[in-house]
Structure 1
Amino acid sequence: MMESLDLLFADTRFAPVWNNLDRFLWGTLLTIEITALSVALGLVLALPLALARISANPLLRWPVYGYIFYFRGTPLLVQLFLVYYGSGQFRDFFEDIGVWRLLREPYFCAILTLTLNTAAYTAEILRGAIQAVPFGEVEAARAYGMSGFRLYRRIVLPKAIRMALPAYTNEVVFLFQATSLVSIITLMDLTGVGRVIISRSFRTFEVWFFVGAIYCAITYLMIWLFNKLEHRLSGHLRDRPAEGPKPAPAE
């Protein structure tokens, strides 16, 4: 088995992959890092956005609706170009408020764009889950004296998170795969490393096949982890093991 693998990687067709495994490793780590930061920041931002989205106050509801409408209605690549290249037109303003040093860095622009994008999608997922919480459960909690933040913390949000988890899993997977776009703004993520190696070796199929295999492996690892989390959070809904026959009473 090992001899077969050695022959495979010794083949000149796969030499660019084998000789650049360290670069692929660092590119993979950067991809995971960008995904983790964007998901964490996007989730923190999405919860207040979802609550504002269902608010009865139009001053809260409509600006959030406009934000979600834009980020869900435009391609992520356009958003990335808008943040990275478009911010240069307002350099004087950003220098005055002290954020130009951040906006000129591709890493920060990638994190900012992905965070804003996933926050919009996640807010809509949470909004739908919150509104899907059975009204009877909310009324029962109010009958016990719960209201406001306590009602959301103990009844609405736990139920909504469990219902939103399958859709949120897809959103995280899509975001992970969308990080491949950050290579366009010079970041050397997994896709960026693949593009550079192809430009030097011209082994398009072999390199992209290897890059795709890494993306596929990490994607299904993420799905497996989310399935474990969903299984843990919904433990009270799982069927209990059937009880064996009870012994007959002694005569």
Structure 2
Amino acid sequence: MSDVTAPTPPPEAKRRPGIAGILFAAFWAAVLLGILSYLYANWRPELFARYGFNYLEGLWVTVSLVLASFVIGAVLSLPVAFARTARSRFATVPAFAFVYFFRGTPLIAQLFLIYYGLGEFRPFFDSIGLWWFFRDAWYCALFAMTLNTAAYQAEIVRGAIDSVPRGQWEGGRSLGLSRPVIFARIIAPQAMIVALRPYANELILLIKGSAIVAIITVYDLFGVARQTFARTFDIQAYVWAAILYLLVVEVLRRLTNLAEARLTRHLKR
């Protein structure tokens, strides 16, 4: 009896972009071309030479502030997320109130409450040796952004953990594994795949939201752009800042794609 080889299925045809996709790409290509044409026609090398290094310093302030607040917020979000899923009201009610307040109010309001509002309690902070922290605009911005992103990240963690089927817990218990081991070895890796994109989106939103710290005299990227425009009255000051923000977001987007491909490579076999 001769072996019969099953026919190889034809490769899937590549999906062609529709009319809407072509129009969308053409629109943004026209916008990009317009910006490049404007910069070329109005290029002022003396302006770039004078303020270019300031933009790099502002970019560093933005990146350092966002990364520090995001990492500290990630650590803070874990106990908040676990408290949100606890059975005790003594844990769930404070965690819910924290998440509800910082997700339900604007970041700029939270920043003002911390930077301006806590100044009313200066004698108290002086007595416990913490006024050096709250009198500095950078630390106030870090504190406000950390609390804000911790609330959002707590919900990301909670949602990612809840997305893992309960059968995974039962399977781990049937193998005699303890609850911490089940979470670390079974639940957390699956939840991380689910949470990767929301984490990247939260980081992008935090990068864009960080521009408001310029209002309290933190010279981040947007603060440098405001200062440059105030001295030159040249709209290029804001165009340069926008381009740098776009570059940072694009780098983050590509890194997210690489991380997602790495974490889900076993699902594509």
Same fold at TM > 0.5 = yes
1:74 aligns with 2:88: no
- Contact 1:125-1:168 within 8 A present in 2 as well: yes
Corresponding residue for residue 202 of structure 2: 171
1:27-76 deviation per Cα after TM superposition (whole angstroms, max 9, x unaligned): 00111100110111011111111111101111111101000000000000
1:117 aligns with 2:151: no
* Aligned partners of 1:186 and 1:192 also within 8 Å: yes
In the other structure, the counterpart of 1:139 is 170
| Partner Cα distance (2:45, 2:204) in 1 | 28
Cα distance in 2 for residues equivalent to 1:96 and 1:151: 46
TM-score by length of 2: 0.82
Cα distance in 2 between the residues matched to 1:186 and 1:13 = 27
1:88-237 superposed matches below 5 A: 88-204=119-235, 206-237=236-267
Question: Residue deviations 1:189-229, cap 9 Å, x none?
Answer: 0000000111111112x111111011001101011111111
CA distance in 1, matches of 2:178, 2:83: 17
User: Residue type of the partner of 1:38?
Assistant: S
- Identity of paired residues, percent? 40
In structure 1, runs of 5+ residues without a counterpart are 241-251
Separation in 1 of the partners of 2:66 and 2:246? Answer: 15
Q: Moved runs in structure 1, 4+ residues, more than 2 A?
A: 8-19
How many residues are treated as equivalent by the alignment? 232
Q: Is the 8 A contact 1:132 1:160 kept in 2?
A: yes
Q: Deviations over 1:52-103 (max 9, x none)?
A: 1101111111101000000000000000001111000111111122111101
Instruction: Give the aligned residue type for 1:132.
Output: S
**Matching residue of 1:47:** 78
Provide the residue aligned with 2:33 in structure 1. Answer: none
Superposed CA deviations along residues 173-195 of structure 1, whole A, max 9, x for unmatched, are 00011111111110110000000
Q: For the Cα contact (< 8 Å) 1:9–1:15, is it kept in 2?
A: no
> How big is the shift at 1:147?
2.8
Q: Which moved more, 1:194-203 or 1:223-232?
A: 223-232
Give the alignment's Cα RMSD to 1 decimal.
Answer: 1.7
CA contact 1:17–1:207 (8 Å) conserved in 2: no
Q: Relative to structure 2, which stretch is displaced further, 26-35 or 138-147?
A: 138-147
Deviations along 1:139-184, one digit per CA (max 9) or x if unpaired, are 1011111232222111111111111111111000000111111111
- In structure 2, how many angstroms separate the alpha carbons of the residues matched to 1:121 and 1:14? 42
Q: Say which is worse superposed, 67-76 or 141-150, in terms of deviation.
A: 141-150
Structure 1 CA distance for aligned equivalents of residues 48 and 93 of structure 2: 50
Q: State whether structure 2 residue 63 is matched by structure 1 residue 32.
A: yes
How far the C-alpha of 1:19 sits from its partner, in A, is: 2.5
Give the C-alpha shift of residue 16 in structure 1: 2.8
CA distance in 2, matches of 1:48, 1:145: 26
Instruction: Determine the C-alpha separation between the residues in 1 that align with 2:43 and 2:174.
Output: 73
How far apart, in 2, do the equivalents of 1:220 and 1:18 lie? 25
- The question of whether the paired residues in 2 share the 8 Å contact of 1:106 and 1:186 is answered with yes
Where does the alignment leave 5 or more consecutive residues of structure 2 unmatched?
Answer: 1-35
Q: Distance in 2 between matches of 1:11 and 1:223?
A: 30
Match of 1:247 in 2: none
State the match for 1:245 in structure 2: none
Shift of 1:14: 6.3
Provide the TM-score with structure 1 as the length reference. 0.88
